[in-house]
Each structure stands twice: as C-alpha cells, then as structure tokens.
Amino acid sequence: MGRTGCVKWRPKVGPCELEKRDVMPDFPEDFKKACDDLIDNWEGGYVNDPHDAGGETNMGISKRSYPDVDIRHLTREDAEEIYYRDFWMRPGVQAISDPTMRAKVFNMGVLMGPGVAEHLAVGCNNISEYRLVCKRHFEAIVIKHPDCGRYLAGWTRRALA
C-alpha cells in the first residue's frame, strides 16, 4: 500500500540490475506489438505523481517495484527487457493461446500486477468478459480505497480498450 492506500504490485524477485549489452534480445513479434501499444498508448514517459503509490515512474516501470533502476533515465530497450522478463515470460503470458487475450493480460498485468491479471482471466470465456472483470476489479479497489478514485476513469478506459 502506498501513501494513498492504492495497492501496487511488486515483483517477487530481487532488485533489477540491467546489464548493458551490444545486441538486444530478439523478442517475439506479438510481444513487440503488445509492448509498443503499452508504452506508446498507455504508459508514456517519465512522471512523478505524488499521489501514485508507485512513485517515480517511466514507461510504466516504477521506482517502488524496481528501486535499483534509474527510472528517470530508463531507456525504452531496458523497459522492454523488464516487461519481457517480468510481465511476459515469468508469469507465463506467452502460454495464453489467444493473441488478443495474451496482449490484454500483459497490459493489465502491468497496471495491476501480473498475478492479479492472470487470476482475473481464469474463467473468462472471451476478451469481452475479461475486460468487464478488470473494470469491476478497479471499481472494487476504489470502493475499498476511495483515494484511488482519481485513477478510475483511466483504469476503466484501459480495461475496456
């Protein structure tokens, strides 16, 4: 729980130490597309919202979740590596058979934590059901933590997109 009481996911691994390398990994095409959509349309660049429990954030990567990463100077390539490792491969998003659902669970995993995003997908028969379940999840957060209400419109837009 952050200053506002909003719940924020933290990775279950130690601090992220990004290695510098000459060659970037060859990511699968569906991951690249989902990651580009995430960064370009939803997460954007550097922000330091005092009301956000994640604190300093860049391209959706928060200082709270990655305390050893220089968030202000995080490169897109480093963000992609974190997303691939911690939000695509580790939780098993790549194993979801429907590519549209795979991209949505990935996107919601960045927003609410991959474990929650995958848990909410269980039992959903299609992407429309999953979108509504995510929307209801965010509404429940605001009922429990009214200070998070400032984020509900954005969360809802993203859940239903």
Which tens digits make up the pLDDT trace of 47-85?
999 988 889 999 999 999 999 999 999 999 999 999 999
Check pLDDT > 80 for residue 90: yes
Is residue 117 over pLDDT 80?
yes
CA dist 132 and 51 (Å) reads 26
Domain positions in the chain are 29-160
Q: Which uninterrupted H or E stretch holds 57? A: strand 57-58
pLDDT of residue 53: 85
pLDDT tens readout for residues 18-51: 555 555 578 999 999 999 999 999 998 999 999 8
pLDDT on residue 52:
87
The answer to whether 110 and 90 are in contact (CB under 8 A) is: no
Q: Which CATH class is domain 29-160?
A: mainly alpha
Neighbouring C-alpha atoms within 13 Å toward the C-beta of 7: 13
Q: Are 139 and 115 in contact (CB under 8 A)?
A: no
Distance CA 34, CA 99 (A): 10
Neighbour count for residue 15 (Cβ, 10 Å) = 10
pLDDT at 12: 46
Lowest mean pLDDT among 3-12, 41-50, 107-116: 3-12
Which amino acid is present at 126?
N
pTM for this prediction: 0.85
